[in-house]
A and B are shown apart, each in its own frame.
Chain A
Amino acid sequence: GDSVTQMEGPVTLSEEAFLTINCTYTATGYPSLFWYVQYPGEGLQLLLKATKADDKGSNKGFEATYRKETTSFHLEKGSVQVSDSAVYFCALDNPMEYGNKLVFGAGTILRVKS
Protein backbone atom coordinates (compact mmCIF):
# COMPACT_ATOMS: atom_id res chain seq x y z
CA GLY A 1 0.00 0.00 0.00
CA ASP A 2 0.88 3.66 -0.08
CA SER A 3 3.38 4.95 2.47
CA VAL A 4 5.27 8.07 3.52
CA THR A 5 8.67 8.14 5.19
CA GLN A 6 9.97 11.18 7.03
CA MET A 7 13.31 11.83 8.61
CA GLU A 8 13.51 11.05 12.28
CA GLY A 9 13.44 13.89 14.75
CA PRO A 10 13.64 15.86 16.79
CA VAL A 11 15.44 18.45 14.70
CA THR A 12 16.94 21.21 16.82
CA LEU A 13 18.09 24.42 15.13
CA SER A 14 19.12 27.89 16.14
CA GLU A 15 17.04 30.82 15.00
CA GLU A 16 17.78 31.89 11.40
CA ALA A 17 19.24 28.48 10.50
CA PHE A 18 18.32 26.67 7.29
CA LEU A 19 15.76 23.89 7.62
CA THR A 20 15.34 20.71 5.60
CA ILE A 21 12.95 17.91 6.53
CA ASN A 22 13.15 14.96 4.18
CA CYS A 23 10.05 13.16 2.94
CA THR A 24 9.81 10.29 0.47
CA TYR A 25 6.73 8.39 -0.60
CA THR A 26 5.59 5.16 -2.20
CA ALA A 27 2.36 5.22 -4.15
CA THR A 28 0.81 4.01 -7.37
CA GLY A 29 -0.19 6.67 -9.83
CA TYR A 30 0.14 10.37 -9.15
CA PRO A 31 -0.73 11.33 -5.59
CA SER A 32 -1.14 14.85 -4.28
CA LEU A 33 1.44 15.70 -1.62
CA PHE A 34 1.03 17.83 1.49
CA TRP A 35 2.87 19.24 4.45
CA TYR A 36 0.79 19.78 7.57
CA VAL A 37 1.97 21.41 10.80
CA GLN A 38 0.72 20.72 14.31
CA TYR A 39 1.30 23.12 17.19
CA PRO A 40 1.01 21.86 20.77
CA GLY A 41 -2.57 21.07 21.75
CA GLU A 42 -3.95 21.79 18.31
CA GLY A 43 -5.12 19.97 15.20
CA LEU A 44 -3.35 19.91 11.86
CA GLN A 45 -2.94 22.99 9.71
CA LEU A 46 -2.16 22.79 6.02
CA LEU A 47 1.24 24.33 5.37
CA LEU A 48 1.60 23.73 1.64
CA LYS A 49 0.74 21.27 -1.11
CA ALA A 50 1.64 20.15 -4.62
CA THR A 51 -0.57 18.18 -6.94
CA LYS A 52 1.69 17.15 -9.82
CA ALA A 53 5.31 16.49 -10.64
CA ASP A 54 7.63 19.53 -10.51
CA ASP A 55 5.02 21.66 -8.74
CA LYS A 56 6.43 23.78 -5.94
CA GLY A 57 4.26 24.49 -2.93
CA SER A 58 5.11 27.48 -0.77
CA ASN A 59 3.73 29.29 2.25
CA LYS A 60 5.14 31.44 5.10
CA GLY A 61 8.69 31.00 3.78
CA PHE A 62 8.42 27.21 3.56
CA GLU A 63 8.83 25.46 0.22
CA ALA A 64 8.64 21.91 -1.12
CA THR A 65 8.97 20.58 -4.67
CA TYR A 66 7.18 17.44 -5.92
CA ARG A 67 9.95 15.27 -7.38
CA LYS A 68 8.50 12.24 -9.11
CA GLU A 69 11.85 10.85 -10.24
CA THR A 70 13.03 10.60 -6.62
CA THR A 71 9.51 10.22 -5.10
CA SER A 72 10.33 13.03 -2.69
CA PHE A 73 8.74 16.16 -1.26
CA HIS A 74 11.34 17.69 1.04
CA LEU A 75 10.36 20.68 3.17
CA GLU A 76 12.76 23.65 3.30
CA LYS A 77 12.91 27.08 4.90
CA GLY A 78 15.76 29.49 4.57
CA SER A 79 15.61 31.05 8.03
CA VAL A 80 13.61 29.46 10.85
CA GLN A 81 12.07 31.31 13.77
CA VAL A 82 11.25 30.18 17.29
CA SER A 83 7.58 30.33 16.31
CA ASP A 84 8.21 27.56 13.74
CA SER A 85 8.69 25.06 16.56
CA ALA A 86 6.04 22.39 15.95
CA VAL A 87 5.52 18.91 14.53
CA TYR A 88 5.58 18.64 10.74
CA PHE A 89 3.79 15.88 8.85
CA CYS A 90 4.25 14.89 5.23
CA ALA A 91 1.18 13.26 3.68
CA LEU A 92 -0.19 11.97 0.40
CA ASP A 93 -3.66 11.61 -1.07
CA ASN A 94 -3.85 9.06 -3.85
CA PRO A 95 -6.65 9.69 -6.36
CA MET A 96 -6.56 6.01 -7.26
CA GLU A 97 -7.84 5.25 -3.75
CA TYR A 98 -11.61 5.43 -3.47
CA GLY A 99 -12.78 8.21 -1.19
CA ASN A 100 -10.59 10.72 0.60
CA LYS A 101 -7.79 9.22 2.65
CA LEU A 102 -4.55 10.85 3.70
CA VAL A 103 -1.52 8.67 4.40
CA PHE A 104 0.85 10.37 6.84
CA GLY A 105 4.48 10.10 7.70
CA ALA A 106 5.48 9.67 11.34
CA GLY A 107 6.00 13.38 11.87
CA THR A 108 9.16 15.37 12.60
CA ILE A 109 9.48 17.49 15.72
CA LEU A 110 11.22 20.81 15.06
CA ARG A 111 12.67 22.81 17.93
CA VAL A 112 14.09 26.26 17.26
CA LYS A 113 16.26 27.90 19.92
CA SER A 114 16.67 31.66 20.25
Chain B
Amino acid sequence: KAGVTQTPRYLIKTRGQQVTLSCSPISGHRSVSWYQQTPGQGLQFLFEYFSETQRNKGNFPGRFSGRQFSNSRSEMNVSTLELGDSALYLCASKRTVLGEDTQYFGPGTRLTVL
Protein backbone atom coordinates (compact mmCIF):
# COMPACT_ATOMS: atom_id res chain seq x y z
CA LYS B 1 0.00 0.00 0.00
CA ALA B 2 1.40 3.40 -0.93
CA GLY B 3 2.21 5.79 1.90
CA VAL B 4 1.34 9.43 2.33
CA THR B 5 2.76 11.50 -0.51
CA GLN B 6 3.49 15.20 -0.48
CA THR B 7 4.33 17.49 -3.36
CA PRO B 8 6.50 19.31 -4.00
CA ARG B 9 9.30 18.11 -1.74
CA TYR B 10 11.17 21.42 -1.86
CA LEU B 11 10.06 24.97 -2.51
CA ILE B 12 11.81 28.31 -2.52
CA LYS B 13 9.68 31.44 -2.40
CA THR B 14 10.19 35.09 -1.61
CA ARG B 15 8.48 37.19 1.03
CA GLY B 16 4.99 38.29 0.09
CA GLN B 17 4.35 35.42 -2.29
CA GLN B 18 1.86 32.66 -1.67
CA VAL B 19 2.35 28.91 -1.81
CA THR B 20 0.20 25.79 -2.10
CA LEU B 21 1.30 22.40 -0.79
CA SER B 22 -0.38 19.13 -1.63
CA CYS B 23 -0.91 15.92 0.31
CA SER B 24 -2.32 12.59 -0.86
CA PRO B 25 -3.29 10.33 2.04
CA ILE B 26 -3.01 6.58 2.25
CA SER B 27 -5.84 4.94 0.35
CA GLY B 28 -8.89 4.62 2.58
CA HIS B 29 -7.73 7.27 5.03
CA ARG B 30 -10.18 10.13 5.27
CA SER B 31 -8.56 12.28 7.93
CA VAL B 32 -5.67 14.53 6.94
CA SER B 33 -3.70 16.68 9.39
CA TRP B 34 -0.99 19.25 8.75
CA TYR B 35 1.95 20.14 10.98
CA GLN B 36 4.71 22.72 10.82
CA GLN B 37 8.18 21.77 12.00
CA THR B 38 10.79 24.42 12.79
CA PRO B 39 13.98 24.29 14.87
CA GLY B 40 12.63 26.93 17.26
CA GLN B 41 9.02 25.85 17.75
CA GLY B 42 9.26 22.14 17.05
CA LEU B 43 6.24 20.31 15.67
CA GLN B 44 3.05 22.33 15.76
CA PHE B 45 -0.43 21.34 14.64
CA LEU B 46 -1.91 23.46 11.87
CA PHE B 47 -5.30 21.91 11.09
CA GLU B 48 -7.15 18.69 10.42
CA TYR B 49 -9.69 17.82 7.75
CA PHE B 50 -12.21 15.03 7.54
CA SER B 51 -14.82 14.62 4.82
CA GLU B 52 -13.88 18.00 3.35
CA THR B 53 -14.53 19.76 6.69
CA GLN B 54 -11.99 21.36 8.97
CA ARG B 55 -12.52 19.82 12.40
CA ASN B 56 -9.68 21.33 14.37
CA LYS B 57 -7.31 24.22 13.96
CA GLY B 58 -4.07 25.16 15.66
CA ASN B 59 -2.92 28.59 16.74
CA PHE B 60 -1.76 29.99 13.41
CA PRO B 61 -2.71 33.24 11.64
CA GLY B 62 -5.36 33.32 8.96
CA ARG B 63 -2.65 33.36 6.27
CA PHE B 64 -2.55 29.61 6.75
CA SER B 65 -5.51 27.83 5.22
CA GLY B 66 -6.35 24.45 3.85
CA ARG B 67 -8.95 22.37 2.16
CA GLN B 68 -9.79 18.78 1.43
CA PHE B 69 -11.27 17.31 -1.70
CA SER B 70 -13.82 14.55 -2.08
CA ASN B 71 -11.04 12.02 -2.76
CA SER B 72 -9.48 12.98 0.62
CA ARG B 73 -6.50 14.71 -0.96
CA SER B 74 -5.66 17.92 0.85
CA GLU B 75 -3.93 21.18 0.12
CA MET B 76 -2.65 23.87 2.38
CA ASN B 77 -2.03 27.44 1.34
CA VAL B 78 0.10 30.11 2.91
CA SER B 79 -0.44 33.64 1.68
CA THR B 80 1.80 36.67 2.08
CA LEU B 81 4.79 34.57 3.03
CA GLU B 82 7.08 35.72 5.83
CA LEU B 83 10.63 34.64 6.57
CA GLY B 84 9.37 32.84 9.67
CA ASP B 85 7.24 30.55 7.50
CA SER B 86 10.37 28.69 6.43
CA ALA B 87 9.80 25.20 7.76
CA LEU B 88 9.18 21.56 7.02
CA TYR B 89 5.45 21.06 6.48
CA LEU B 90 4.27 17.57 7.29
CA CYS B 91 1.03 15.95 6.35
CA ALA B 92 -0.41 12.92 8.15
CA SER B 93 -3.35 10.69 7.39
CA LYS B 94 -5.43 8.42 9.57
CA ARG B 95 -8.18 5.87 9.19
CA THR B 96 -11.33 6.97 10.93
CA VAL B 97 -12.55 3.73 12.40
CA LEU B 98 -13.07 2.87 16.03
CA GLY B 99 -9.85 1.77 17.65
CA GLU B 100 -7.58 3.19 14.97
CA ASP B 101 -5.49 5.96 16.49
CA THR B 102 -2.30 6.15 14.45
CA GLN B 103 -1.40 9.03 12.16
CA TYR B 104 0.94 8.16 9.29
CA PHE B 105 3.22 10.89 8.03
CA GLY B 106 4.47 11.85 4.61
CA PRO B 107 8.07 12.92 3.87
CA GLY B 108 7.21 16.61 4.14
CA THR B 109 7.62 19.70 1.99
CA ARG B 110 10.62 21.87 2.81
CA LEU B 111 9.64 25.51 2.29
CA THR B 112 12.31 28.19 2.23
CA VAL B 113 11.24 31.83 2.22
CA LEU B 114 13.86 34.34 1.08
Contacts and interface: CB of A to CB of B under 8 A. Distances in A.
Contacts of B55: 98-100
A101 B105 contact: no
A46 interface: yes
B42 A100 contact: no
Contacts of B74: none
A100 B31 contact: yes
Interface string B79-92: 00000000000101
A91 B43 CA distance: 10
Contacts of A32: 101
Nearest to B55: A99
A53 to B, nearest CB: 15
Contacts of B58: 101
Contacts of A49: 101-102
Given A44-B90, A46-B104, A102 B35 contact: yes
Interface of A: 32, 34, 36, 42-46, 49, 51, 89, 91, 93, 95, 97-107
Contacts of B42: 104-107
B102 A43 contact: no
Interface of B: 4, 6, 31, 33, 35, 42-45, 48, 50, 55-56, 58, 90, 92, 94, 101-108
Of A34, A89, A100, A104, most B-chain CB atoms within 10 Å: A100
Chain B at the A interface: SS class: strand
Given A44-B92, A102-B43, 19 more contacts: A32-B101, A42-B108, A44-B105, A49-B101, A51-B101, A91-B43, A93-B103, A97-B56, A98-B55, A99-B31, A99-B50, A100-B31, A100-B48, A101-B45, A101-B48, A102-B45, A102-B103, A104-B42, A107-B43
A99 B48 contact: yes
A46 B102 contact: yes
A26 to B, nearest CB: 16
A43 B56 contact: no
Given A32-B101, A43-B108, A46-B102, A101 B90 contact: no
Contacts of A105: 42
